[in-house]
Structure 1
Amino acid sequence: MASIEKELYRFGSPQDAVFICEKHDLRIDMTCDDCEEFICSKCVKTSHKDHRWGTISAATSLLRKDLRNVLKTIEAKDIQHMDKKIQEASKQIKENKRKCEREISKLQKHYDAILKDLDLIRDNIEESLTNSLEVKESKVRRLRSTFKEQKKKALRRIKDMKENNGDMSDLDLLKTYRELIKLSSSDDSDIDKFRYSLTFNAVKERQGVIKTLIGEVFDLQEITLKETGSFQWGGNQIDDLVAINVDSCFLGNRKSQSLERVNKSGRRELSIRLCINSVCVTDKNKVYLTDKLHKCIAHLSPSDSISTIFRTDPLEPLGIYQTMDGDLLVTLIDNETERYFPNSPGRCLLRRMTTAGEIVHDYEYNEDGKKKLFTWPSRVAQNGITDICVINRIDKSEGELLILSFSGFLKSVYNGQGQRDAFDPTDVDCDPNSNIIVCDLYDSTIHLLNPDGKFMKFLLTKNQVTHPTAMSLRQSTLWIGDFQGVVKVFQYNA
């Protein structure tokens, strides 16, 4: 308190203090409410002429009239709010520690099933988890200390104004009051952003390199989307969207039987009249199409000519995707299939085939060989651990995401995040970390799932995307098309 009093009364008694404007060498007797500055009468007519201003004596007079009520309100509400933030910070520290311990426990259980020579990787991951906890704890502790210091300063000024307001000059009283208001109404720091957010991803099937087997740590908060552009593609629904590279993509609409290649600005580079269901661009930039009318897989050459590669008749090809080893995954139905009917006599299946049309494997039934896997498999993708993700329509406005092992075992089924009764997935793709990205038409959301098909977060919500119908990720660029022909392009940070 002594240091504060020394600062406030360094010019003698409260009423003797006189402050001079450095710019105009006049007495400071005015206050600007917009700039929160103390000014002179000439400042009012020049740099502050369009601002809200008044005399210091008038402002102080108004403050003194209701000072006790104002201080009482601050004590009753703002100080209590500070207490709440301090409690939240303390709770967050404990919660972070519990989450860290839970993640380490998951890691240990998974590790126990792996060979002893994975010890080094296991130690590195545990160190990453623990280091993250220490960083988060340090930040939350600093935040808690800030809240405590703000509370201490606010109480100090409240006490000073209660006990000494009669002895304070108008200027000092107003200055102290403004400092109090700033302390009590400063922007809240979002404690939630310091929540422990690292998560350990367990890989159930032990395939690939050792790092893939043990799993990996990533920070969920670091997986973000940033919109980099958008354009209007006609006015019809985008039924198919496949990125060619970071600068261009294919867009298709079944109603108009059109397929076009467009760039990020929406400029057409190619237009084809063709009744297709889906497009696939391979890692070598070869383009394959599922031809609905002719029931075949077609190829689009670099010279933009179309040729049939092989027929799928009597089955109609729907979705298509390249496997990691260069084959094609194609979802198929026949003419006898009743839409969305589980016991339909027709065939609904996923077929793995070579680019020459040789059948490698059919995924049609569950392990028992009797129950059908699909009712209407519309889209397909594969992630980095070879699992296959299939959008399976079960009604006109409802579907599910099936995750199959490469051998055909049904690993999990994702039915949405429970915003409403029905989940309406329209497209699926996978990121470099084997996470699964799904767009939900009805709820206008983009879901991010871990490789096991468990929900992690919404990448986009209805404030950022409207009824998405098609989607494609290429390198770090995510393209999303909607039901009114709008295409949005995002930078995918993972």
Structure 2
Amino acid sequence: MRPFRADSKTVDSNGNNISTFQSSRTGLQPLRSGKSPPAINLLHESTTRNALPREAQNGVSAQSCYIAEKCKQDLQSEIEVAKRYVQYLNYIHRDLTSYLDKTEINIAQIKQEIESQAELLDSTERDIDEERKRETNRINERILAVENALKKINDEVDIVTNTLESLNSTTVIDEAPALLKKLRNIVNLLPLLPSDRYIYTLLPTWRSAAENERIFDSVHVPWRVEVKRIASFKPKECASDRFVTSLCPVSESEAWVVWHWGPQIHLVNKDGELKKTVDTGCKVDDISVDFDGNLVLSCFETKCLKRLDENYEVKQVIQLELVPRGFRFTSLDEIVVCCVQNIHHRNGDTCSLLKINAENDNVVSEIGDPTQFIQPWRIAININGDICVSDRNKGTVSIFDPRGKLKTTYCGPKDGTRHAFAPHALCCDSFGQIFVVDYSNHTVHVLDPLGRFRGFMIMDTELEKRAIFMGTSSPFSIGIDKMGHLWVGNKYGYITILKYV
């Protein structure tokens, strides 16, 4: 169901406008699209509702009652988003604590080996203890920061929840803006997490006392997000196809996939079975679904977006002046779309990031400054409404707020990669984390809800790493299903499904 949007006007006995209110959202958007509501604007709406709150019978106007209900719904939606941040921090807290536990076990094993050569290794053992203390203190500081953030966010949620329960239809209208501001500022309480970690090693060969100084070492590496493979496949019907150019998970077990820009699109499940094939009649660059579950395609040769009905017939065409690339729906049923002059960038090409009304095809606004981009590629909408845009030619991921104001730009980590950052597709999960495919470095970057680097997605064992390699080498596309599993498509035509939580 699409979110309800209302604009209303209240007039006095002389027909003069006396107040305005607008509710931009009635509920949290579906998680599969990674969308979230924009800011509430107290504008006005003139409409009639059959069912009104009890206050309507106690002297409060029906319009005020309706507005109050919309305020309550918007506040409740923001409370749900805030709770998602709590879930995210709990997940981070578990990850940090688990890493610390593993570090303690690793150090303990090293100490046990060293103690068997106590006389020769006393000095090394003291060094290890100092290293343990430094690393323990460093991670404990981060754990404390996460715990403090958890407490603050829970306190804020409790305050707003209790306040909301105590408000009536009259007072909620006055209090709603301040409460919404408080909830939306919660994202700024998320702590900065460690972007690196140390891998401790013990060389297995015993040597002389002088050489023993080098048997213990630590390697500085970026933080890793461990994953496990659920599946890796390439349907036999698509055996000759290369490049999974776009994919869109639509349930817990199925996703629509485009191999090599179409024109055919395929519905596949986690077992690698091809369930359905639809010939769209055009080259397809990106694929998504609207709030009714209808497929929407960006067609670069004809410079348009096509919306299909339940029978996969074209029911709407949105014609554009430039070539559409990646796109996604916002919670207001608006489409944010990357527009470029040519599918392959040329010097002097223009580009833009447009927000389009999905009902009447009108351009609502242009997001950002065209000079911020070289070749905008793909889009993801985060749970707080942020618009995340990858630019593979510029090597950046730009994050805008729902109104189109630039919040931050991610250019890759300072170190830890062999090649320049080459972002292709990206998606967001229910915690607000951002996953960015890095084609050149054969990895996926994990960012926190504020766009700060968390780490790389890697495998938990060498055996697992080899098993997944064919599915994640040169990754090209990415999506997340309703189970929270990542679908990663690569240039060889393989799809790999990963579990990371």
Q: How far does residue 282 in structure 1 lie from its aligned partner after superposition?
A: 3.3
Per-residue CA distance 1:296-336 (angstroms, 9 max, x = gap):
22123322x2305123243222112121233222212235x
Partner residue in 2 for 1:231: 233
Higher RCO (C-alpha under 8 Å, 6+ residues apart): 2
Partner residue in 1 for 2:409: 413
Does structure 1 conserve the Cα–Cα contact (< 8 Å) formed by 2:355 and 2:367? no
Partner residue in 2 for 1:448: 446
The answer to whether residue 373 in structure 2 is matched with residue 374 in structure 1 is: yes
Distance 1:210 1:283 in 2: 28
The answer to whether residue 212 in structure 2 is matched with residue 213 in structure 1 is: no
- Summarize the Cα distance change of 1:256–1:322 in structure 2 as closer, same or farther, 3 Å threshold: closer
Aligned AA for 1:361?
V
SS class of match (2:129): helix
Partner residue in 2 for 1:241: 247
Q: In structure 1, which of residues 267, 275, 279 is the aligned counterpart of residue 287 of structure 2?
A: 279
Does structure 2 conserve the Cα–Cα contact (< 8 Å) formed by 1:243 and 1:249? yes
The within-5 A match list for 1:15-414 is: 74-76=117-119, 82-96=125-139, 98-99=141-142, 118=156, 208=180, 210-215=182-187, 224-233=226-235, 234=239, 235-254=241-260, 257-274=263-280, 275-303=283-311, 305-334=312-341, 339=345, 341=347, 343-344=348-349, 346=350, 348-363=351-366, 365-366=368-369, 372-394=371-393, 399-414=395-410
Which deviates further from its counterpart, 436-445 or 453-462? 453-462
Does structure 2 conserve the Cα–Cα contact (< 8 Å) formed by 1:388 and 1:404? yes
Does structure 1 conserve the Cα–Cα contact (< 8 Å) formed by 2:255 and 2:269? yes
TM-score, reference length from structure 2: 0.56
Distance 1:359 1:76 in 2: 79
Identity, in percent, stands at: 21
Aligned length: 324
Per-residue CA distance 1:206-230 (angstroms, 9 max, x = gap):
9957444223669999975322111
SS class of match (1:239): strand
SS class of match (2:301): coil
The answer to whether residue 456 in structure 2 is matched with residue 458 in structure 1 is: yes
- Summarize the Cα distance change of 1:105–1:283 in structure 2 as closer, same or farther, 3 Å threshold: same
The answer to whether residue 427 in structure 2 is matched with residue 429 in structure 1 is: yes
Does structure 2 conserve the Cα–Cα contact (< 8 Å) formed by 1:296 and 1:309? no
Distance 2:157 2:296 in 1: 44
Distance 2:404 2:290 in 1: 23
Which deviates further from its counterpart, 383-392 or 210-219? 210-219
Distance 2:262 2:452 in 1: 37
Distance 1:104 1:492 in 2: 22
Distance 2:227 2:331 in 1: 25
- Summarize the Cα distance change of 1:120–1:393 in structure 2 as closer, same or farther, 3 Å threshold: same
Unaligned stretches of 5+ in structure 2?
1-112, 161-177, 195-222, 460-464
Does structure 2 conserve the Cα–Cα contact (< 8 Å) formed by 1:388 and 1:406? yes
Q: Which has the larger radius of gyration?
A: 1
Distance 1:207 1:393 in 2: 39
Per-residue CA distance 1:328-358 (angstroms, 9 max, x = gap):
22212235x97164x53x3x11222232243
Q: How far does residue 90 in structure 1 lie from its aligned partner after superposition?
A: 2.9
Q: CA RMSD in A?
A: 3.7
- Summarize the Cα distance change of 1:238–1:93 in structure 2 as closer, same or farther, 3 Å threshold: closer
TM-score, reference length from structure 1: 0.57
Q: How far does residue 365 in structure 1 lie from its aligned partner after superposition?
A: 4.6
Distance 1:338 1:478 in 2: 28
SS class of match (2:392): strand
Distance 2:385 2:179 in 1: 9
- Summarize the Cα distance change of 1:283–1:255 in structure 2 as closer, same or farther, 3 Å threshold: closer
